[in-house]
């Protein structure tokens, strides 16, 4: 009985350790995505896209980069769909599944920009708050539906 219990505890610790490792890698990718998001937003603002349209563009750029990094690093053990069509489907599924996080992310951003003058003057504050709001849901949904074998 004791060896069976020990084995089960070891397996549970291994699963939780793998989950924690994925969550940490997902967070690192999220920080990179935040940098891409912010840089793209400021470029779009400079080009005249506006606070809201620029944010849609910046989110798409960041989400696409995050998909590629999560596919290659965070969830590399999940297996990959074959060919370009499989990768394109996985990218589209990633964007679709992460719409939940996008709603939290963009909603937080838009609320702060609209109601807090500091965030409107320095959109990076609102981008950061939005990123944090969407990250947890994105991790859980991506792990469950996009990178299933992880």
Is residue 60 domain-resident?
yes
Least Cα distance to 54 among 34, 40, 35 occurs for: 40
Say if CB 99 and CB 59 are below 8 A apart.
no
Highest mean pLDDT among 7-11, 69-73, 129-133, 146-150: 69-73
Pairwise CA distance, residues 46 & 69, whole Å: 27
Where does the pLDDT of residue 7 fall: very low under 50, low under 70, confident under 90, or very high at 90 and above?
Answer: low
pLDDT in tens, 80-96: 776 778 889 999 999 99
pTM for this predicted structure: 0.73
Is residue 2 domain-resident?
no
Is residue 21 domain-resident?
no
Structural domain tally of the chain?
1
Is residue 7 domain-resident?
no
DSSP 148: T
Asked if pLDDT for residue 71 goes beyond 90, the answer is yes
- What would the two tokens of residue 32 be? 């990179």
**Residue 12, Cβ density class (10 Å: 0-12 exposed, 13-18 middle, ≥19 buried):** exposed
pLDDT in tens, 25-51: 999 999 999 899 999 999 999 999 999
pLDDT in tens, 92-118: 999 998 888 889 988 999 999 999 999
Q: Which domain holds residue 141?
A: 26-146
Is residue 116 domain-resident?
yes
Is residue 56 domain-resident?
yes
Is residue 20 domain-resident?
no
Is residue 142 domain-resident?
yes
């Amino acid at each position: 009985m004791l060896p069976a219990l020990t084995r089960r505890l070891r397996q549970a610790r291994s699963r939780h350790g793998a989950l924690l490792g994925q969550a940490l890698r997902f967070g690192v990718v999220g920080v990179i995505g935040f940098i891409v998001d912010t840089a793209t937003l400021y470029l779009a603002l400079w080009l005249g896209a506006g606070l809201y349209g620029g944010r849609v563009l910046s989110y798409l750029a960041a989400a696409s980069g995050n998909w590629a990094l999560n596919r290659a690093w965070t969830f590399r053990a999940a297996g990959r769909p074959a060919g370009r069509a499989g990768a394109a489907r996985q990218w589209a599924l990633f964007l679709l599944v992460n719409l939940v996080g996008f709603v939290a992310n963009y909603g937080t951003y838009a609320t702060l920009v609209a109601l807090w003058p500091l965030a409107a003057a320095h959109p990076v504050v609102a981008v950061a708050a939005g990123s944090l709001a969407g990250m947890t849901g994105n991790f859980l949904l991506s792990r469950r539906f996009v990178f299933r074998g992880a």
